[in-house]
Amino acid sequence: MRTTRTLSMILAAIIVWSCDLIDPSRPDSSIPETFPLESSALNGTMGKAQLEAVCPSSVKDLLTNDIELYKIIYRTTYQKDTLKSEALVAVPAGMDEVKLCAYFHGAVLPISFIPMNNFSGYKGGPTISKDIASCILPLASHGYCVVVPEYIGYGITSKKDHPFIYYPELNIDCLDAIRAARKFLETKDIHYSNDILLTGWSEGAGEALYAHRDMEQNHPDEFNVIATSSLAGPYSIYHMMMNIFAHPDKEYGSLMLYSWAGYALNKFAPTLNRPSTELFTSATNTQSSALRHITGTPASTFNQDFMTGILEGTDTEFIKVMEECSTYEGWTPKGYVFLHHGTADSTVPCFNSEDAYESFKDTGKAKIYLYKFGEHDTSLNKYISTTIEDFESL
């Protein structure tokens, strides 16, 4: 009798546990919790007066809610190893149900990274980060729960190299940040659905579109992408490299971004890892050495044989890696895509958004906003206000 009763209790516990696993009220309950939330902490809160003091005047009409700022720490993978990463979660105060919006920030040069730029540690108050002041805070105050991955290479992972523009690696951490943020919302008894909106600027704009494709193709039961709205993204590093290599003697003010991209692609792509002198004119074996090429010409930075192989299409191995980082070729999005770009952008040329739009326009779900004479960052405020208008129209 005692044995039978014990078995019955065990069976009952298994049934209850199993039912909890498939609870339909938990939108991600069917997804294995491989990388759980480690911890969360309240950084600070911001009322409307504080928000108005930090955000540009052009977005003040978007500031409707007080917000709470949290740091979350979670487990993810980096080059197949498990480590802890972090993200900022900005939550509209007093809401028991939210719309999830991921914001992927623009690249921050590791050599200039200081605490005021730290996203996950942002406590409110003055900031030099345009991502925070012009995009993240207005989105959160307007009613969206905004998840901002710090990225590997910053914050608690600052001793690691950042996988700059190598989206197959960067995307792993970004999706795990969203998963961890959803677990965090559950601990706060804040409801959400599988629906998600994706936003980003610069490198983050490319990640937004890459994540959109990955979610639709590989995680459709976990994420339902309603729309992506992105500003000035490097949607095709291949076409960008081709563009500068075609003008080897031209001076480029943002050449370090190309050398950083070349270094990162070579390091993180499993099929590459070439000696650096096969890519560059001098040894470039560290991230910091890749960033030393602040300005200059492609001919003074990149190996001539490497440039020739890209231009003539003979370096198929490296070209394939660059094409894997393309965020628009070879797929048809189901969710909406809103592309924004300044026509005078000298950091990430406008043809990135124009080419992406041409690839998507036949879906009937793509729209492009071109800002005349806009540079890489001058359209941020208009971008976020238009993004909110578009999201609210869906």
Judged by phi (left if over 0) then psi (alpha if -120 to 50, else beta), residue 79 lies in left
Residue range 110-126: mean pLDDT, rounded: 74
The alpha-carbon radius of gyration of the chain (Å, integer) is 22
Q: Could you tell me if 376 and 232 are in contact, meaning their C-beta atoms sit under 8 angstroms apart?
A: yes
Cα-flanking dihedrals φ and ψ of residue 90, to 5°?
Answer: -100, 120
CA torsion through residues 95, 101, 102, 103, sign: negative
pLDDT in tens, 213-255: 999 999 999 999 999 999 999 999 999 999 999 999 999 988 9
Query: What confidence score (pLDDT) does residue 117 get?
Result: 52
Query: Between the CA of residue 249 and those of 17, 62, 211, 262, 296, what are the distances in Å?
Result: 66, 45, 35, 18, 9
Angstrom distance (rounded) from CA 368 to CA 347 = 19
Q: Could you tell me if 179 and 219 are in contact, meaning their C-beta atoms sit under 8 angstroms apart?
A: no
**CATH assignment of 37-235+327-393, given 3.40.50.1820, 3.40.50.300, 2.40.180.10, 2.60.40.1230?**
3.40.50.1820
Angstrom distance (rounded) from CA 200 to CA 210 = 11
Judged by phi (left if over 0) then psi (alpha if -120 to 50, else beta), residue 94 lies in left
Predicted structure pTM score: 0.90
Angstrom distance (rounded) from CA 97 to CA 81 = 35
Strand arrangement of the beta sheet that strand 366-371 belongs to: 37-46, 67-78, 81-92, 144-149, 99-104, 195-201, 224-231, 336-342, 366-371
Q: Is the pLDDT of residue 6 over 50?
A: no
Residue 171: partners with Cβ closer than 8 Å, 6 or more residues away: 207, 210, 211, 214
Residue 123: partners with Cβ closer than 8 Å, 6 or more residues away: 43, 44, 69
Mean pLDDT in the chain? 89
A 10 A CB-CB count for 33 gives 12
Query: What confidence score (pLDDT) does residue 7 get?
Result: 37
SS3 58: helix
Q: Is the pLDDT of residue 321 over 50?
A: yes
Nearest alpha carbon to residue 356 among 329, 336, 333: 329
Query: What confidence score (pLDDT) does residue 33 get?
Result: 52
* Helices and strands counted in the chain (H then E): 14, 9
Angstrom distance (rounded) from CA 366 to CA 180 = 30
Angstrom distance (rounded) from CA 373 to CA 375 = 6
SS3 332: coil
Angstrom distance (rounded) from CA 182 to CA 177 = 9
Angstrom distance (rounded) from CA 364 to CA 335 = 10
Residue range 281-301: mean pLDDT, rounded: 90
The secondary element (H helix, E strand) that includes residue 216 is helix 203-218
Judged by phi (left if over 0) then psi (alpha if -120 to 50, else beta), residue 184 lies in alpha
Chain centre distance of CA 329: 18
Q: Could you tell me if 338 and 330 are in contact, meaning their C-beta atoms sit under 8 angstroms apart?
A: no
Q: Could you tell me if 216 and 334 are in contact, meaning their C-beta atoms sit under 8 angstroms apart?
A: yes
Angstrom distance (rounded) from CA 150 to CA 155 = 7
pLDDT in tens, 17-71: 333 333 333 344 344 455 589 999 999 999 999 999 999 999 999 999 999 999 9
SS3 185: helix
pLDDT in tens, 121-173: 999 999 989 999 999 999 999 999 999 999 999 999 999 999 999 999 999 99
> How do the domains of the chain map onto residue ranges?
37-235+327-393, 237-324
